[in-house]
Amino acid sequence: MAQPLERLTRALNKLPGVGRKSADRMALKLAYSRDTILSELVAALNEVSETVRSCSECGAVTTADADPCRICTDVTRDGSVLYVVEEPSDVVAIESSGGIRGCYHVLMGKMSPMDDKGPWDLRLEQLLKRVDSGKYEEIILALGTDMNSDATVNFISELLKSRKVKVTRLALGLPVGSGIGYSDPVTLERAIKGRQVM
């Protein structure tokens, strides 16, 4: 395979859910669809690169001209509930479950010794500032159920123990070893409604 195609394949292979064979097929399709798909993809990638940002308040995805994001600025939301999630995609998953009207805090990952990611590599300082503002009555730890997520949940709940705030975690329905982003809306809604005090 030509070096530019190999570079494209390696880049595509880094996307979630894209294996090596799929990345090879995508790279070849893009190379031979230069006038249609490739030019559209390049334009979309450039637009994302120039305009998409993390919300300065919650860390979810927003655009440069809408910061803080539409969720953070929505006055109809329950400002006393804060969902702490691992990734921006988890915000999308919880929002799609419907009827959930709290605020969010995106950690941008979870503790992972194998990846040399400790607690302070996450957005924990920002979380503590938000909790210390006294604005929130309940912090819902809406993280996955794998070992690293469990360790992160335990670390955060210890951090928040001395603060006067109710700390809960999602319960029913989330499969062990999975993440929020892979749950269907009904399962996710049940997990949110069945959360337990930590």
Q: Where in the chain is the domain with CATH 3.40.1360.10?
A: 74-197
Write the pLDDT tens digit of every residue in 96-152.
Answer: 888 778 999 999 999 999 999 999 999 999 999 999 999 999 999 999 878 899 899
Query: Which among 54-58, 177-181, 182-186 has the top mean pLDDT?
Result: 54-58
Q: Is the pTM of this model over 0.75?
A: yes
Residue 185: the pLDDT is 81
Instruction: Write out the two tokens for 101.
Output: 């009207």
Q: Which part of the chain is CATH 1.10.8.420?
A: 3-54
CA angle 107–113–114, rounded 5-degree value: 110
Instruction: Provide DSSP, 127-167.
Output: HHHHHHTT--SEEEE---SSHHHHHHHHHHHHHHTTSSSEE
Could you tell me the two tokens for 150? Answer: 């469990």
pLDDT at 187: 73
**CATH class as words, domain 3-54:** mainly alpha
**Topology at the third CATH level for domain 74-197:** Dna Topoisomerase Vi A Subunit; Chain: A, domain 2 (3.40.1360)
